[in-house]
């Protein structure tokens, strides 16, 4: 479950991501296929729909494929419940807050990637 997309899942419906539904069999296949075939199919999607469409489809999150990328979950996860209960009493006394959001799967194996915004 992608915890960033999991906030408030008990109270809200996650927006449908039909674009991801189309790409899911390609990006999360039941069995790994030929890399060249994957790249050719992905290149076809980019050619037909554009890179921004493919990027938004994959990174936008979804709640229909538990085995898929950026799965938002169906209920609020315990990790988010704990943060929601623990942080609010601490924040009024804070002058500054620094958040580190750790991810796996970004960059090459063993490489640390800073995603700053």
5 Cβ contact list (under 8 Å, min separation 6): 14, 61, 70, 71, 72, 73
From the first residue on, what is the mean pLDDT of each consecutive set of 10 residues in the chain (117 residues)?
Answer: 87 92 97 95 98 96 95 93 92 87 78 78
Closest to 59 (Cα-Cα) out of 16, 18, 20: 20
Single pTM value for the model:
0.78
115 Cβ contact list (under 8 Å, min separation 6): 103, 106
- 71 beta partners: 62
pLDDT in tens, 2-21: 988 888 888 888 899 999 99
Residue ranges per domain, the chain?
3-93
């Amino acid at each position: 479950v992608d915890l960033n997309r999991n906030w408030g899942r008990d109270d809200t419906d996650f927006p449908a991501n039909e674009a991801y539904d189309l790409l899911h069999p390609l990006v999360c296949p039941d069995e790994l296929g030929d890399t060249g075939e994957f790249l050719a199919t992905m290149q076809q999607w980019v050619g037909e729909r554009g890179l921004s469409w493919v990027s938004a489809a994959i990174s936008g999150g979804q709640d229909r494929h538990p085995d898929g990328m950026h799965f938002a979950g169906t209920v609020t996860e315990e990790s988010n419940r704990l943060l929601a209960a623990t942080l609010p009493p601490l924040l009024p006394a804070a002058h500054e807050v620094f958040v580190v959001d750790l991810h796996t799967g970004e960059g090459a194996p063993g490489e640390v990637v800073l995603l700053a915004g």
